[in-house]
A and B are shown apart, each in its own frame.
Chain A
Amino acid sequence: MAFDKELKNYYIQQISFIREQNLYKQEKQIQSPQFASIDVEYPKGVNKDGIINICSNNYLGLSNHPEVIKAAKETLDTRGYGMSSVRFICGTQDIHVDLENKMSLFLGMDDTILYSSAFDANLGIFEALLDEDCAIFTDSLNHASIIDGTRLCKAKKIRYANNDMDDLQLKLEEEKDFRIKLIVTDGVFSMDGIVAHVDKICELAKMYKALVMVDDSHATGFIGKTGRGTHELHNVMGEVDIISTTFGKALGGASGGCISGRQEIIEILRQKSRPYLFSNSISPVVVGGVLKVMSMIMESTDRRDKLEINSEFWKKGLREAGFILTNTGSPIVPVMLFNAKLAQEFSADLYGEGVYAIGFFYPVVPKGKARIRTQISAAHETEHLEKALDAFIRVGKKYDILGRSREEILDRYPISTSL
């Protein structure tokens, strides 16, 4: 150890630099379970109860549903708390196999393999399946975990412009000579809420003999008529070769993820995928909860239907008030503010009004595209949304951005002064 003054100062400087750029991330402490309204301690020492949460991935409102809690408790009693083992040593229970089967059934795939998180699933899939004589065609806005997974893989990486099918086709045309080609995309892009053209991707894949992988972390459980995901929405169930998704968002929100896909692919992952072989099995108590979530959403579409109604209400309200939204096709509704500092101040003011929604800015989104990302949940009642809308409008008026175009907002809050 030689963590001397000089080294310490080096890191202190790095951190100040992050602060100066207005990129510092501050965490607020929640003192209640995750729900439509939460109790928060922020700033330190100040407790505020009943804040409306409009930025969680709790899309179906199942993260603390009484039935999910009950199932988790029953599993604690019958299968315990932790496994203290990776899957292939002594970390596989009957319920892990049950969950894999249930996911395959729900997503309409051959087989499924669980991971500690969707992050780890994406981290471990590419290297296990592809070598240096293969190619990955990857959307430029894919999630960080996909980027890291492809960084760990020797295959050639070819980026195409976000959701741009002409560009994808161009790249497929240019880069033909590979043993295996894989197109990978997020099903719903998490920062914009836009749904990928999964149908068009499948068509191109057929033409150019490529595999298709979709990360449906922001889709599984609620996108499509029965909530199967973007492949259901786009009528290509059975045509997507690989789906990765998470249990950490709509499906209970505790933790864990999986990859569902062709039989042989899943088997290879079980033998070779490093995060699967070298990280702990999902804990039984979490598995018990997800199993319940899956039964609930396979029995009824009530929750996803309510989410759809809520999302429509919310988007309509914001648009009518004069906010600029993205062309979203999901419960992810970004309110565009463009300027990072404005996004942070807007968020702080919303919090003052009893609404929790945080600002997103570089490097999470591109420079000049700062925003408040709102996310709707089936746990929201109309009164939550009405109250939140009121707050947005009040704060919007304060900053005088309602009904303004992007240029007008940028005029008032030029990017050069901050970011």
Chain B
Amino acid sequence: MAYSDKIRGIYTGTLNEIKEKGIFKQERPIHSAQAADIEVEFPMGSDLKKVINMCANNYLGLSSHPDVIKAAHAGLDSRGYGMSSVRFICGTQDIHKELEAKVTKFLGTEDTILFPSCMDANAGVFEAILTADDVMISDRLVHASIIDGMRLCAALHDTFKHSDMAHLEEKLQLHADKRLKVVITDGVFSMDGDTAKLDEMVALCEKYDAMLFVDESHSSGFIGKTGRGTHEKCGVVGKIDIITTTFGKALGGASGGCVSGRKELVEMCRQKARPYLFSNTIAPVVVSGVNTVLDILSKSTERRDKLEKNTEFWRNGLAEAGFVLKEGDTPIVPVMLFNAKLSQDFSKALYEEGVYAIGFFFPVVPQGQARIRTQVSAGHEIHHLEKALEAFIKVGKKFDILGKTKQEIIAMYGN
């Protein structure tokens, strides 16, 4: 050990820099289960405050749903709490196989392999199926975990401009000589809430002989008529070669993720993907919960339908009030504020009004595009949304941004 004053000084300096830039992240402990109403301790040490949560990925309101809790209880009794093993040693239970089969059916793919998280699925999948002879062509706004996965893979990496199909086509032509080509995108982009043009991408991939990879973390369970995801919405079920998704958002929100797709690709991951081979299996108690979530969703579209209605109500309400929103129709509704400090002040003022929604700024979104990202849930009732809307309007008035354009807001607060 040599944690000298010099080294301490280096790290203290880095921390101060982060604080000075106003991008220091402060956590707010929640003293209740995840739901529309939560009890929060913020700042640390203060009394608990009951607030409406507008920023969870709990899209379907299933994270603490009584049926899911019940299934987890039953799972604890029949299959236990932890496995203390990776999958291929002694970490595979019947319920793990059951979950893989259920996901396959739900997504309309050929086979599925579970990972401890979707982060791990994305970190491991590319290296398992590609070599230095191949190319990965990714949308410029894909999730950080995909970027890390591509960094761990020897294949050539190139990008196309966000959702720009002409540019993607150029790149497919540029790399025509590569052995295997994979086009990589998020289904729904987490920061903007917009949807990938999967139908056009499928057509391009067919034309140029490329595989298509879609991360459906912000779509599985609620996008598309029966909630299968972006591929359902775009009418291309069965045509996506690799889907990754998470159980950590709409599908119960506990943990875990998967790669679902062509049988051979899934098999390659089982033999070669490093986070699969070298990290613990998903806990039985978690698997039991997700199995029930998928049963609920396969039986009825009630929850996603409610989410759709809630989303419409929320988007319309904010738009009519005069906020600048990102276009889209998903439950991710970013309220644009452009300036990082404004987004933090806005978030604090909302909290005063009993609404929890945090500011996003560089480096999570590009410079000058700071925002409050709101996320609607089927766990919200209209009264929650009405109250949250009132709070947004009140705070919007306070900062005098209602009805103002992007340019006007930037003129007032900078970017």
Contacts and interface: CB of A to CB of B under 8 A. Distances in A.
Q: Do chains A and B touch in the complex (CB under 8 A)?
A: yes
Interface of A: 1-4, 7-8, 10-12, 14-15, 18, 23-35, 38, 41, 53, 55-59, 63-64, 68-69, 72-73, 76-85, 87-90, 92-94, 96-97, 116-120, 123, 129, 143-145, 148, 151-152, 179-180, 202, 205-206, 208-212, 236, 239-241, 246-250, 252-255, 262, 264-265, 267-268, 270-271, 274-275, 277-280, 282-286, 289, 356, 358, 364
A27 B87 contact: yes
Contact of A81 (B239, B252, B275): B252
A80 B33 contact: yes
Interface residues of B, number: 117
Given A117-B116, A151-B152, A271-B24, A278 B239 contact: no
Interface stretch (B92-100, B306-314, B332-340): B92-100
B82 A280 contact: no
A64 B82 contact: yes
Contacts of A73: 73, 76
B178 to A, nearest CB: 13
Given A84-B56, A85-B56, A265-B11, A63 B270 contact: no
Contacts of B10: 179-180
A277 B209 CA distance: 35
A90 B116 contact: no
B177 to A, nearest CB: 15
Interface string B64-80: 11001100110011111
Nearest to A34: B83
A249 B93 contact: no
A267 B211 CA distance: 40
B286 interface: yes
20 contacts: A15-B267, A24-B271, A33-B284, A34-B90, A64-B81, A78-B33, A80-B32, A80-B35, A80-B64, A81-B65, A81-B69, A81-B289, A84-B63, A120-B116, A120-B119, A279-B117, A280-B117, A283-B253, A283-B255, A283-B286
Interface stretch (B240-248, B294-302, B381-389): B240-248
| Nearest 9 Cβ contacts at the A-B interface | A82-B253, A253-B82, A80-B33, A33-B80, A253-B84, A84-B253, A248-B280, A280-B248, A80-B64
A285 B2 contact: no
A255 B116 contact: yes
B92 A27 contact: yes
B144 A277 contact: yes
A18 B269 CA distance: 12
Nearest to A248: B280
Nearest to B210: A2
B253 to A, nearest CB: 3
B285 A72 contact: yes
Contact of B152 (A1, A2, A120, A152): A152
B262 interface: yes
B15 A205 contact: no
B8 A264 contact: yes
Interface in B1-50: 1-4, 7-8, 10-12, 14-15, 18, 24-35, 38, 41
B79 A209 contact: no
A370 B208 CA distance: 44
Contacts of A4: 209
A211 B286 contact: no
Nearest to B13: A264
B36 to A, nearest CB: 12
A322 B97 CA distance: 39
Contacts of B80: 32-35, 63-64, 69
A90 B28 contact: yes
A90 B285 contact: no
A223 B288 CA distance: 32
Contacts of A248: 82, 84, 279-280
A55 B90 contact: yes
Contact of B34 (A3, A63, A90, A119): A90
B123 interface: yes
B325 interface: no
B92 to A, nearest CB: 4
Contact of A253 (B81, B92, B97): B81
A69 B248 contact: no
B175 to A, nearest CB: 14
B253 A81 contact: yes
Contacts of B68: 81-82
B318 interface: no
Q: Which of B1, B151, B289 counts the most chain A CB atoms within 10 A?
A: B1
Nearest to A97: B29
B90 A80 contact: no
A25 B15 contact: no
Interface string B145-159: 100100110000000
A255 B280 contact: yes
Contact of B82 (A14, A82, A144, A252): A252
A356 B91 CA distance: 12
Given A11-B264, A15-B271, A94-B30, 19 more contacts: A2-B209, A3-B241, A68-B81, A69-B76, A81-B289, A82-B34, A87-B27, A90-B38, A90-B56, A120-B116, A144-B274, A148-B152, A206-B1, A212-B2, A252-B81, A254-B285, A262-B3, A278-B144, A283-B255
B3 A241 contact: yes
B61 to A, nearest CB: 9
B379 to A, nearest CB: 10
Contact of A268 (B14, B35, B82): B14
Nearest to A231: B1
Contact of B92 (A30, A57, A69, A239): A30
Given A8-B262, A271-B24, A202 B211 contact: no
Contacts of A3: 211, 241, 262
A90 B120 CA distance: 21
A28 B90 CA distance: 7
A286 B239 contact: no
